[in-house]
Amino acid sequence: MTPADPHAAPQPRRRSFARRFPRVVLLFGIIGPGLIAANAGNDAGGIATYSAAGARYGYQLLWVLIVILVALVVVQEMCARLGSVTGMGFSDLVRERFGVRMTSFVVLALLVANLGTAFSEFVGVGAAAELLGVPRLIAVPVAAVVLWTLVVFGSYKIVERVFLAMALVFVAYPIAAVLAHPDWGSVGHGLVVPTVPRTFGGVQLIIAIIGTTITPYMQLYLQSSVAEKAVRPEDYVYERIDVIAGSLFANLVALAIIVATAAALYGRGVPVDSAAQAARALEPVAGPAAKYLFAVGLLGACLLAAPVLALTSAYSVTEAIGVEKGVSQDFRRAPVFMGLFTGMILVAAGFALLPGIPFTSTLLVIQVLDALVLPVVLFSLLRLTNDRELMGDRANTPLFNIIGVTTAAVVISLSTLLVVMMAARPFV
């Protein structure tokens, strides 16, 4: 055995797995808010929009997902960083920095939009359950009771783990996409070559794809969740991984939905105006497995989005008025927070059980409200993340500001255009 050279330079000691292990534990302890928030955006309305894109335009609109990915990562990273550094929710900071008037506008518009969206999620629960052979009148009340019990009687950690498990159900969509036997060459072409349909409906659908992903409730939930979880600034690097991973996974799901419906339904003249219609239309072409996978994905999406919407509303109102909040609280310590969550679940599920509710027009109103609130949220977010008194050395860098301002400008312009187009002509 050759003796060690006493004059050789000392070699750096490799960190053992045991020394690296605590960081792995920390990563899995912090991960959650980013994955949940991004995937909550793939709700009933999102799935319907992606399905319509694939069925009507094939693979042509896949390139929009690249735009969505960049925008989603930028916006969600700012929200998560703001929550980590300040330990406060969005409405808390808006009230403190910009006054009660702006806070009231944001919270009121958000409440109305969230209630309408939560209603659509319970409609989606009923539709998915019927596809799986369970009556809507049974599925919706059971889902409402289970979700209410989980949040009211569970701790933050338990609720987060269940939400993460729900997000795993989205794996059903990539499987459905493979079962549909797509043309992968055309998929690649659609991703890298921008194509804008020369129709009113095509342009409107592009805007809707972007708008259905970057919605105010997702961002507000993310910031409040990071703040409640008390992610320390020195550990924020792990939360950034969570945000990026969540955005990538959410976009993969959106890609899979467009690919599956494009492969199976494009050019067949099949009307697709909802996720349930897409699931039924897939069966004759891709087989019953694709139908059931689509239904399972829809059910998981709605069960995830419904409580996230209700919690976002509860966070926003309690932050705005400065009272106790948090999933780990109870009715005695946080009566307003728990009361708002309960009311949102009860009203949304109740409306979903009523016959004759105009589902499509409700979604139209929600999209308009989200488009009105989103510019306020994004401009406020940029101002807050550039406030060095608030953020210190974790304020936005010049490069990040360029990306952030560009993202905000594009999203705001598209949101404004969406409102104008909706006012001029109904969604097609």
39 φ/ψ sector (left φ>0, alpha ψ -120 to 50, else beta): alpha
The domains of the chain, with CATH numbers, are 34-265+280-424 (1.20.1740.10)
Q: Please give the pLDDT value at position 14.
A: 44
Quote the CA–CA distance of 198 and 382 in Å, as a whole number: 34
Residues 6+ apart with CB under 8 A from 139: 125, 126, 128, 129, 130
Is the pLDDT assigned to residue 10 strictly greater than 50? no
214 φ/ψ sector (left φ>0, alpha ψ -120 to 50, else beta): beta
For residue range 228-239, list pLDDT tens digits in order. 888 888 878 888
Closest by CA position to 301, among listed 47, 123, 115, 72? 47
The C-alpha angle 269, 272, 277, rounded to 5 degrees, equals 120
Both tokens of 79, joined, read 């929200």
232 φ/ψ sector (left φ>0, alpha ψ -120 to 50, else beta): beta
For a pLDDT cut of 70, what percent of the chain falls above it? 85
Q: Please give the pLDDT value at position 30.
A: 56
For residue range 341-400, list pLDDT tens digits in order. 999 999 999 988 888 766 666 666 676 667 677 777 888 889 999 999 999 889 988 887
Both tokens of 320, joined, read 């705005």
The b/e string for 317-340 (b: 16+ C-beta within 10 A; e otherwise) is bbbbeeeebbbebeeeebeebbeb
422 vs 322, higher pLDDT: 322
Closest by CA position to 276, among listed 360, 171, 208? 360
The single-letter code of the amino acid at 71 is: A
Q: Please give the pLDDT value at position 374.
A: 77
Answer for the pair 50, 258: CB distance below 8 angstroms, yes or no: yes
Both tokens of 369, joined, read 């409200």
Threshold 0.85, pTM exceeds = no
Helix or strand or coil: residue 287? coil
For residue range 309-334, list pLDDT tens digits in order. 899 999 989 988 888 888 888 888 88
Helix or strand or coil: residue 133? coil
For residue range 93-152, list pLDDT tens digits in order. 888 888 888 888 888 878 888 888 888 889 889 988 988 889 989 999 999 999 999 999
Read out DSSP for 46-94?
HHHHHHHHHHHHTTTTTTHHHHHHHHHHHHHHHHHHHHHHH---HHHHH
Quote the CA–CA distance of 391 and 382 in Å, as a whole number: 12
CA distances from 345 to 82, 130, 326 (A): 28, 20, 16
Is the pLDDT assigned to residue 428 strictly greater than 70? no
Answer for the pair 61, 206: CB distance below 8 angstroms, yes or no: yes
Task: Give the length of the chain.
Answer: 428
Answer for the pair 172, 293: CB distance below 8 angstroms, yes or no: yes
